[in-house]
Chain A
Amino acid sequence: MKHKAIFLFILISLAALISLEAQTDQKNQKWDGSRTTPVHQIPLKDEFDQPILPSEPYPLPYSARYSCAPCHDYTLIQEGWHFNAASSSQHGRTGEPWVWVEPKTGTVLPLSYRSWERMWNPQQLGLTPWDFTLLFGRHMSGGGMAEPRSDETSPESRWNVSGKLEINCMGCHNASRMQSHSEWAKQVLRHNFRWAATAASGFGEVGGMASRLPGTWDIYDGPNPDDTEWAVVPSIRYRPEIFDSKHRVFFDIANKPDDLRCLVCHSVYPVGTKKYSIKEDIHSAAGMKCVDCHRNDISHAMIRGYEGEAEESQNSEIADFTCRGCHIGEDLSRRGGSTSGRLGAPYPKHSGIPAVHFEKLSCTVCHSGPVPSKNFNRVRTSRANRLGIYGVAQWFTELPHIIEPVFVRDRTGKITPHRLMWPAFWGEREGDTIKLLKPAEVEEAAGDILASEENIAEVLTAFTLYSGIEGIPALVASGKVYELNVDRRLDASLYPGEEVPSEILWVIKINGEIAPLIPEFDPEAEEPDVDTETRIQKALESLATISDSPGQPALIHKDAMYMVVEGYLDKTESPGKTVNTPQLCWFHENKTQPIVSEFDVRTAVATVGEEHTLTEEQVERVLKSLSSLENPQESGAAKKFFYVSGGKMFQLDEAGNLFAADHAAAEPVIWPLAHQVRPAQQSLGIKDCTDCHTEGSVFFFNSMTGDGPLLTKKVAVRSAHSLMGLDKPYQKLFGLSFRIRPAFKVALFISALIVGSMLLLGVLLALARFTGLIEKRRQP
């Protein structure tokens, strides 16, 4: 009993101490009212809350959690908008998803931890925080799922090696031009999570790669002196000049982050636009910063600025930060007086715009994004297309294809411009239940089906590296030349010669000239050409370097077959039919097969250099492969595999043929766009009503086709009016009515003139009679 009492006392004391400490922290948070930002000359602390001394051997990277903690409540900041996707229950209006792009399997999957429509929760897919951080850490601001608690880690994760990806405070608040997002992305890719913020801030130089370290390595283990080449332990060399004599470092803090810091993750690039002609948001052009509207306090609960946010967050103050709140104010009756809008925001007159527009449309319809045109604008965004990471390699991806502006009713019922992308993914369905397959699962089941380009590239790599033949090896097929690029993928170009060969040829490209890899020769000649035989031997030897080849490399020509046996070129009789041009092949069990299959060549011809990465034939084969792997007794006969692309769901019918059908899971994913806001003079309707209201209006009658990695004509088609939930015949008729509006206005004017004249006449007559100017009419 006594022990229990002592234990309880200790517990209470501890709780009181923690509470006191929290109160002390809270006290530190209190703002004194000064509008200045204090100089951040502070000691760096590592993840163990120990001061960092740059002169020490193997110093640790700085930890924002502990370096910033004396003044800033890290746990409170962790609940901020940029970090709370997985932990918050308040998600607000739909935002941009993370997009998992895997071109090989044709996966373009919108993900979000937030419960937004048509986006997949990574947890549903079995993606762990570790997987998610590896996929998207490049554009994450740290914290959240990238900084899991110890009990949240999964067995396959390597947090103990990489460290956690703490909130990268300097990623937003660093005013120095030394802040490098590319460095951050590279360190994340190398699994150097705990070093990423230090490297990105420019405080020091980080070397080594945690990704190469064994899973048993721990930060306490320190560097490995035995391996300085490959599995080099990440280490940091701080720039000594940034430390003062007290080992304090000057943090060039921008309390209000610079726009460039926001644009690291929030850039939107209209594809094909020259850099100098990128249009700036009118607010930015006027000198405003992103954070002038998108404000936050220490909680980092960013104001997103959409209508309804104030009600959702139960914070009426933030209503001022919507378009309407800033430009009009709460009450229309203020009539543009001095109180309307923040920062003297211009009060819009909206001359000639009928009031119904303000009930049916959001402000951004007329004022934001590109002006609607026949073709939707394709854009790349930082997070979806990996923009803003600079280096030798090309980081950005063409997929996903995002288009704008797509006008759709938002959840308030108002028409709002959106960005749109079509998802593409593999999965299995049982009735209405859908389960997604991870790209790795599909790749495993598909085997070589999805590796056509790789198979060809492998052969070309073998020729390039090992044949010693002068020139660039290439494949000629269907009038195109396929060469290896630096990423060991294929580049396609048109065949330069006049006579395009109809067959598949391995060639050598020298100074732009194309010549067969194995030139024409006579195998029955009494004196064989030594140069030709040497070349045949080199080609066959290089092919022999390919691992997992289906047989021994051979060359068949006419009735002869050449193989390398014990280092010598051996000529035997061809086992198959006679061929008239020299052909490289694999020889196995007295049979020959082409070096690369016709399927591989067919697929490469259809996809290399094109936007699509899959063919219908591939999808059909992969679905068959997935079905064959599934045990029908376990899975149940009703379970079907499918692939979604271009707004359609592709499945196999009973006969094993591919067919496409509509399905809710194939519907496009949309999220509202708010920027860039155009100047008023470029808003919709500024010229006249026919900016939108015509019988052929692109605003109402534009249509889009489904888009995805699959090369197919079976795609969904959506019209603008159907997306807006509007009636086409009515809008056509209404648009047509604007042709007679000028005449209508004239008719109204004449009518008003006549009726007005009649009334005026009556009034004048009455006045004349009243004054006696005209005598009252008498009865005869």
Chain B
Amino acid sequence: MIFRIISAASVLGLIFALTLHRFRKSQDASGKGSGSSSAAGYLSWLFHRIFKFLQSAGIKGWKERYNQWIILRHPARERWVILCLGISYCLLAASGFLFALLSSQRLFGSFLLLHFTMGGLFAVCLPLATILRARHYRLDADEPAQGKDTPASGGKAALPWSPIFFWVFVASGLCLIVTALTLMLPYFSLIIQLDFFEVHRYSALVSLLSAIAFAYFSRVNDKK
């Protein structure tokens, strides 16, 4: 139950923070004052964005997104890796969190099989993606390279949000792989397995949060 509360609160909190961040940026960009940053204004903006997103949710819209996110951003050799990583991750998160949040039972049945299969794909793609993309997400680069966000307000040093979330995602992915592996090995007692399972769940949550944040900041930078 605690995990459910933490998961729901953290995901909703992050989405709220990111949408608010985006809302403020859009307000700044359009030159409107802070007075228009009221709750009503935010909600109106949010519904407008959601509506806009749904309008473009057809095949054409997804094709455009695919072009924007995969074709334009990645060279040909990376595309399949990123695509597979993205698909496997989405399915892993969907199957895992569906059970974790909505069911009192552990993952079983077709969802377990899907989770298991996608886990394999994820485990293959993650190291490849890390090798291929690591240099793009260096934390020590001086220039405002890809992924570095501009400060929300002047006067503060810019933090490299995208690289940070990239590496958090990789680290949590490692945790997920290691715990999945240990859960399959016949060396650990049920009690230890249950502990690993908790680590797996919280790693998944961190991974999900970092993936959302990473996607957001990467997108912000693209727009920029």
Contact = CB atoms under 8 A, between A and B. Distances in A.
Interface in B147-194: 167, 170-171, 173-174, 177-178, 180-181, 183-191, 193-194
Given A758-B170, A779-B143, A332 B191 contact: yes
Given A349-B190, A350-B190, A747 B123 contact: yes
A762 B174 CA distance: 14
B177 A758 contact: no
Given A351-B188, A354-B193, A751-B126, A759 B171 contact: yes
A766 interface: yes
A752 B113 contact: no
Contacts of A335: 191
Contact of B181 (A358, A733, A748, A762): A748
30 contacts: A349-B189, A349-B190, A350-B189, A351-B186, A352-B188, A354-B193, A355-B106, A355-B190, A355-B197, A356-B112, A358-B190, A359-B106, A688-B186, A727-B109, A730-B109, A730-B113, A737-B113, A744-B120, A747-B124, A748-B177, A748-B181, A749-B181, A751-B127, A756-B178, A758-B134, A762-B134, A766-B140, A777-B140, A777-B141, A779-B142
A733 B197 CA distance: 24
Interface string B32-64: 000000000000000000000000000000000
Given A758-B127, A779-B143, A752 B181 contact: yes
A465 interface: no
Contact of B185 (A352, A356, A751, A758): A352
A202 interface: no
Interface in B114-150: 116, 120, 123-124, 126-127, 130-131, 134, 139-143
A745 interface: yes
Looking at A353, A355, A358, A750, the one whose CB has the most chain B CB atoms below 10 A away is: A355
Contacts of A360: 108
Contacts of B112: 356, 734
Contacts of B186: 351-352, 688
B130 A758 contact: yes
B177 A751 contact: yes
Contacts of B177: 748, 751-752, 755
A551 interface: no
Contacts of A754: 127, 130-131
Interface of B: 105-110, 112-113, 116, 120, 123-124, 126-127, 130-131, 134, 139-143, 167, 170-171, 173-174, 177-178, 180-181, 183-191, 193-194, 197
Nearest to B194: A355
B181 A745 contact: yes
Nearest to A352: B186
A145 to B, nearest CB: 43
A759 B106 CA distance: 31
Given A332-B194, A733-B113, A766 B127 contact: no
A351 B190 CA distance: 6
Nearest to B117: A737
A356 B142 CA distance: 49
Q: Is the interface of B mostly helix, strand, loop or mixed?
A: helix
B105 A359 contact: yes
A427 interface: no
A769 interface: yes
A336 interface: yes
A351 B110 CA distance: 24
Given A359-B105, A752-B178, A354 B183 contact: yes
Interface in A330-382: 332, 335-336, 348-356, 358-360
A149 interface: no
A241 B114 CA distance: 78
Interface string A599-643: 000000000000000000000000000000000000000000000
A287 B142 CA distance: 75
Contacts of A776: 140
A737 B116 contact: yes
Given A730-B109, A733-B113, A749-B181, A755 B188 contact: no
A779 B142 CA distance: 7
A351 B181 contact: no
Interface in A722-780: 727, 730, 733-734, 737, 741, 744-745, 747-752, 754-756, 758-759, 762, 766, 769, 776-779
A752 B109 contact: no
A749 B189 CA distance: 20
Chain A to chain B: the 5 pairs with minimum beta-carbon distance, closest first = A352-B186, A754-B127, A349-B189, A350-B190, A751-B123
Contacts of B184: 352, 741, 744-745, 748
A759 B170 contact: yes
A358 to B, nearest CB: 7
B174 A759 contact: yes
A535 B65 CA distance: 107
B140 A769 contact: yes
